[in-house]
A = this chain, B = another copy of it.
C-alpha cells in the first residue's frame, strides 16, 4: 500500500495502533495538538533531540528499518543518560519519502517501540510529513531527582573512565561499507560488530549510577572518544592525559581492523557512535562507581586522568605523548561515517 493512498491521518492512526500503553504520568498521549504529562515534584527535566538524515547519518540499504527506528530513539536516550537522567517521554517527527511503503514504516515503528519498551519511554506523538528522503528527528524528555552531570565539572586529579568497549561501532560500519559481509571474519564476530553500529545500547542505568556515585562530568561518546575528551576539558577548563594502552578495545574489533587493514586505535579514538559514556570522577568515587556498574554488568575502565589546563589534552601511546585533537566525526566536515 502506498502512503499517498493512506493519507497523513491514516498513517498516524496506523503507526500508533500498537504503541505500548502509557504509564500513569501521561495525561494525553498521541492524537491531540500536544501531548500532556506530569513531572515528579521537584525533579529536574531534561530535553534533547537528534536528527537523522538518510544518506548522511544512515544508508537505507545498510540498515534495516527496525534497527533504524531503534537507533533513532537510542541516540537521544544516550544524551539523557549522559546527564545522569532517566528518559521518560519522546516525540518523533518523520519525513517520509515517496519510495517508502507502508511495510517499511511499520517496521521502523516496531524498532522505535522496541527501544521505547526497553527503556520505559512513552511515545507521546510527533509529526508526519512528506520529504524527499527519510528524515527522523527524535526529541526525548528525561527526569532526574538530582542535579544533572554536565560537561563542565571535571577537576584536575579526577580520573577519566569509560563504560563498555570502544571502536566496535566503527568496525561494524567499516564492515557494512566494505560490502561483502564478514570480510573473512566468523559470521558471529561480524554480526556482533555490525550490531554495535546499528543497535547501540544507551547507558541509561549506568549513567544514573555514575551520577549517583559522584561523577563530576559526563558525556556520551557519539563523535569519538577524542572529541568527547576535548568537550569535557574545554567545558571544565582542564587538560587530560589518556593512555592508549588502557582503552577497552575488544579482540573482535582488533581482528576486523586486521582484516580490513585499518587501525583499531583510530576507530577507538575517532570512530564515533559508540554511545558509551566518558566520565570524570574523583578518586574517592571510583570504588562506588565500579561496584555500581558491576551490578549492572557494564564494564568500567579507567583510561586516564584530568590534569591542569596548562598540560594540554594529551594521549600517551607507548613512549610517545602527543596532543589529542578532536578529529572526531564532524557533520559538516567529515564524509559519511568518518
Contact = CB atoms under 8 A, between A and B. Distances in A.
Given A47-B34, A150-B28, A220-B33, A132 B129 contact: no
A34 B85 contact: yes
Interface in A208-261: 218-220, 235
Interface string A43-56: 11111111111011
B332 A7 contact: yes
A130 interface: yes
A164 B40 CA distance: 37
A198 to B, nearest CB: 19
Interface size class of A (residues with CB under 8 A): 35 or more
A166 interface: no
B28 A148 contact: yes
A124 B8 CA distance: 30
A91 B219 contact: no
B53 A135 contact: yes
A121 interface: no
A186 interface: no
A55 to B, nearest CB: 7
Interface of A: 3-4, 6-9, 11, 27-28, 31-39, 41-53, 55-57, 78-80, 82-83, 85, 89, 91-95, 124-133, 135, 137, 139-142, 144, 147-148, 150-152, 218-220, 235, 330-333
Given A33-B219, A47-B125, 11 more contacts: A6-B332, A7-B330, A32-B235, A34-B79, A34-B142, A36-B45, A37-B47, A38-B44, A135-B135, A137-B137, A139-B139
